[in-house]
Amino acid sequence: MSQYIAALDQGTTSSRCILFNQKGEVCSCAQREFRQIFPKGGWVEHDPMEIWASQIGVLVEAMGAAGLHADDLAAIGITNQRETTIVWEKATGRPVCNAIVWQCRRTAPMIEKLKQDGWAERIRKCTGLVPDAYFSASKLAWILNEVPHARERAQKGELLFGTVDTWLIWNLTQGRVHVTDYTNASRTMLFDIRRLCWDEDILEYFDIPLCMLPEVKPSSCVYGHTAESVLGGEIPIAGIAGDQQAALFGQCCFTPGSVKNTYGTGCFMLMNTGNRLVESENGLLSTIAVGMDGKVEYALEGSIFIAGAVLQWLRDGLRMLHSAPQSEEYCRRVKDTEGVYLVPAFAGLGAPYWNPYARGVMVGLTRGASKEHFVRAATESLAYQVNDLIDVMKRESGLELTALKVDGGASANDFLMQFQADISRVCIDRPQCVETTALGAAYLAGLAIGYWKSREDILINWRKDRSFLPEMAQEDCDKRVKGWKRAVRTALYWAQEEE
């Protein structure tokens, strides 16, 4: 059998390709950032052709760096930014407009109308999701409403919809395969996560033709093969999972009650609930964790819209940092934030608040506040938001979280991980391989073709890098968390004024 599995990790700010061997070790990696397009306040777009070009580019680059050819790859797995919505012409493959990114808030009024029309509970029961502009449904409806002749062309079968996984597979197979998996489908707000099918009533509400939608398949199976003209060989595409579900799988959270948190552009905490679909009453989402072996497993999820993006903003927007990892150095220069809090509600607030109108606020400023305090407040905001999710997840699941597996770029920040352990009073376990999102996609692809025989084979590969245990005094911790909640109320008050 060929030696490597290629994982395509198509994220919100960059496309990456990582080649893994049977031990789950990184053998080659390439990454390329692409443009973030902000046409109006609260609007976020990507160029789908740029997504495709950057993703195929890093695949070729990673193979070239390792001196590999197509026949050296056993399979390709795909993991992707979820909810981001692309519509393209079936005949030509040309997108009809830019991709509308998961962070985009343009359809918030459409969601408000949906709630007024009495659909909120129906959506929650069927899809497991809290109605929000975050998900694909309203984004797709917006494209059909606003792009000239789009709905008419869609009804004729001329246009196709897909999340980013679907778009990549369409291009890798040169239009032969139009497919998604259960995890990505479960994030569209159009999919019944119990019946495992597109919901006819929700499609009718949004006036979305069924013929636009991809076929939904398990997360681990052979969907098709790359066209020979794309990579010089027909490589099986055998695994798909939305980025957070892929990270859950890559972290080997296979048993009910196991939890991981990814510190990426956003922050996403998932708890495996096995075959039990837990309905949240406090702003968490019920979602599909993975689909394989003829069944699906479920998860509880808490979603934070802006996490690592705060550090990117400090670097690119405010030019306070040369690189995101530099934030750790600034954080350690001061003993605390001097009472300063940053609530990074740049795209509204996700779980457990779900307020699309909230906006970023900084509170507690005095003349004594310095650049170091500002950077530390921004960094700590990631941990505070995650702590909000931990509190809710404990209540919803009835389980006490004693350990939290972490991954994503910001999990390499030792200051942040220690602060998380302190305020959340849990043990933080960081694996040696923090590329767990890509690794999860590789595992799903490898299992489908027999590269790995079982989940037990995979479990052997998970190795801990370091654990972080709480050190801060409980009284100090409580005081800081109390200040954070007060800052959040300020951001929510701003939202009331906006309404």
Q: Is 312 annotated as a binding residue?
A: yes
Query: Binding residue per annotation — 409?
Result: yes
Ligand-binding annotation for 499, yes or no, is no
Q: Is 165 among the annotated ligand-binding positions?
A: no
Task: Say if residue 286 carries a ligand binding annotation.
Answer: no
The response to whether 116 counts as a known ligand-binding position is: no
13 is in an annotated binding site: yes
Known binding residue 476? Answer is: no
Distance CA 300, CA 290 (A): 12
341 is in an annotated binding site: no
The 3-state DSSP class for residue 287 equals strand
DSSP 8-class letter at 280 = P
**Residue 436 is labelled as binding a ligand:** no
Buried b / exposed e over 149-188, threshold 16 CB at 10 Å, is ebbebbeeebbbbbbbbbbbbbbbbebebbbbbbbbbbbb
The closest of 314, 308, 323, 329 to 374, measured between CA atoms, is: 314
Residue 244 counted as an annotated binding residue: yes
Largest CA distance in the chain: 64
Q: Whole-angstrom Cα distance, residue 80 to residue 357?
A: 26
Instruction: Say whether 10 counts as a known binding-site residue.
Output: no
Six-digit token pair at 477?
């911790």
φ, ψ of residue 120 in degrees (nearest 5):
-60, -50
Tell me whether residue 364 is annotated as binding.
no
Q: Tell me whether strands 403-407 and 259-263 are parallel, antiparallel or unpaired.
A: parallel
What span, in angstroms and rounded, lies between the C-alpha atoms of 273 and 118? 29
DSSP symbols for 430-463: EES---HHHHHHHHHHHHHHTSS-SHHHHHTT--
Is 21 flagged in the annotation as binding? no
User: Binding site for glycerol, residues?
Assistant: 82-83, 134, 243-244
User: Binding site for ADP, residues?
Assistant: 12, 16, 265, 308, 409, 413
User: Binding site, residues?
Assistant: 12-14, 16, 82-83, 134, 243-244, 265, 308, 312, 409, 413
User: Binding site for ATP, residues?
Assistant: 12-14, 265, 308, 312, 409
User: Binding site for sn-glycerol 3-phosphate, residues?
Assistant: 12, 82-83, 134, 243
